[in-house]
Structure 1
Amino acid sequence: MEEGKFVLWAQVRTGSPQMKVDNEGILRPNAWPEGGSIVYLGDVTRSLLSSLGPHSPPEFIERPGFDEQRWTISVQSNELKILIRSESYWGFGLFARCYLNKIEIIGTRNDAARIAFDIVASLGRDPWATTFPFAFRRKTKSPINEHQTNWTELINSSKYELAENIELIADQYRKLRGKVDKIGKEQLMGVDENITMARQALHDRNAPAVSRALSRAERGLILANPKTRSDLEEQMNESDDDEIPFVDLTESE
């Protein structure tokens, strides 16, 4: 899938967490022992960074100055690149709600969709719902309904992909029922439970929980099928045989 650039604008509600920028322009925890200047990350960026999983330390392209909530950072996770700009759009930035985030996602549409889905799930609110609609429109040069469309199209795309993955596993489950032995029946009970958990997690907009439930269900399907079960057990046995033997080096010679 080809890469593209996806731009999303979000209303900030809270300035927390308070963090630090070290001397090299890297985002650090507030308890960073080597000092640094203060920065207020905001709830949107906090949600975005937590949804990325493993990623490089965010770097400040524009460091905060007197206004500790005005900044631009860059972060990368594998091939995915993200730029986030925080700035005031109303009332000289006297309150956290006077700020917005411009999010530029450079990657595949699937990547952008997952990020949008996870941000909204983490925030528990619609990021396009603004405190000062007129000022938000003026700053972003786009109407609110256009922002809503940009967000919801990506969110629905991610939701559709997750739902499709659930149905693929559910279809395999249905095909195996009645064709397994006693061990397989026990495994299929677990598969059914995990499919239900995945659907509930999707309803709750919890993408990581969906992935975990599907991973367990997929393993259960392998163990339920006598043909694939033997292959998996053989691989597990080979893995055990390849383990490096333990040598107690604490004993004196």
Structure 2
Amino acid sequence: SSTPIMDKKPGFDEQTWTISCRAGDVLLTIDSYSYWGFGLLTRCYANTITMEGPLGERARVVFDLVASLSHKPWEFSRRGKFNSKISNITENQECWQAHIERAREDLGELIEATLLEKGDCEDIEIARNALADDNAPAVLRALSRIEADSIDVEVEDVSPDGMVLQIDEDAVPFVDLSSEEE
């Protein structure tokens, strides 16, 4: 993941800016600008998010973003102005929802693959509930616990008292680094 770069810095109108960064194979650019208002009385701003990269990774970014916001990013305060100046609201909403659905499907497939490989357990149900709550990090934590629990440890490889290193004192050379001229 790269450090975000301010491609266009805010000027007098501090809501007009562009920032970009890269996370893995996904390039993310955010443009912020006014879509309704008059000079100093500008009221409505749009943040256009552009992502380039593999669909699965873009879908996961959208899924996490929407889950963290307090409102749906495809809803606007001045729908008519947005529709006429920026984009078609219906197409915009469908694009967001298609990415969210793709991320849900990918996480659901991950849960089912883990179920088939490791068997049913309490953490599978926790992962399903987390997915129902649109909480991808909780899904991944539950699946990680299943993976960690399935790692076999050979009993003879484990010492009940911990590891103790035995040193033969005769095998360690003694070197006196002090001088007699003190």
Provide the TM-score with structure 2 as the length reference.
0.78
Larger radius of gyration: 2
Which of 137, 141, 166 is the matching residue for 1:208?
137
CA distance in 2, matches of 1:231, 1:105: 46
Moved over 4 A (4+): 230-234
Q: Equivalent residue for 2:16?
A: 70
Q: Equivalent residue for 1:219?
A: 148
Give the RMSD, CA atoms, in angstroms.
2.6
Identity of aligned residues (%): 41
- Give the Å deviation of 1:219: 2.1
Does residue 198 of structure 1 match 2:144?
no
Seen in structure 2, the aligned counterparts of structure 1 residues 150 and 192 have a Cα distance that, compared at 3 Å, is same
Provide the TM-score with structure 1 as the length reference.
0.57
Seen in structure 2, the aligned counterparts of structure 1 residues 194 and 233 have a Cα distance that, compared at 3 Å, is farther
Q: Equivalent residue for 2:32?
A: 86
Q: Equivalent residue for 2:55?
A: 109
Q: Equivalent residue for 1:165?
A: 110
Q: Equivalent residue for 2:170?
A: none
1:178-197 aligned within 5 A: 192-197=121-126
Seen in structure 2, the aligned counterparts of structure 1 residues 80 and 171 have a Cα distance that, compared at 3 Å, is same
Seen in structure 2, the aligned counterparts of structure 1 residues 172 and 78 have a Cα distance that, compared at 3 Å, is closer
Asked if the contact 2:25/2:54 (under 8 Å) is kept, the reply is no
SS in 1 for 2:52: strand
- The aligned length equals 161
SS in 2 for 1:76: strand
Seen in structure 2, the aligned counterparts of structure 1 residues 205 and 75 have a Cα distance that, compared at 3 Å, is same
- Give the Å deviation of 1:139: 2.2
Q: Equivalent residue for 2:81?
A: 135
Select the structure with the greater relative contact order (CA < 8 A; seq sep ≥ 6).
1
CA distance in 1, matches of 2:87, 2:105: 30
CA distance in 2, matches of 1:211, 1:233: 32
Asked if the contact 2:6/2:18 (under 8 Å) is kept, the reply is yes
Per-residue CA deviations over 1:101-157 (Å, capped at 9, x if unaligned) read: 111111100111011101110004321111111111122232x11111100111000
Per-residue CA deviations over 1:158-190 (Å, capped at 9, x if unaligned) read: 00000111111122343xxxxxxxxxxxxxxxx
Seen in structure 2, the aligned counterparts of structure 1 residues 81 and 231 have a Cα distance that, compared at 3 Å, is farther
SS in 1 for 2:121: helix
Per-residue CA deviations over 1:50-86 (Å, capped at 9, x if unaligned) read: xxxxx32211111100111110111112332111100
Structure 2 unmatched runs, 5+: 164-177
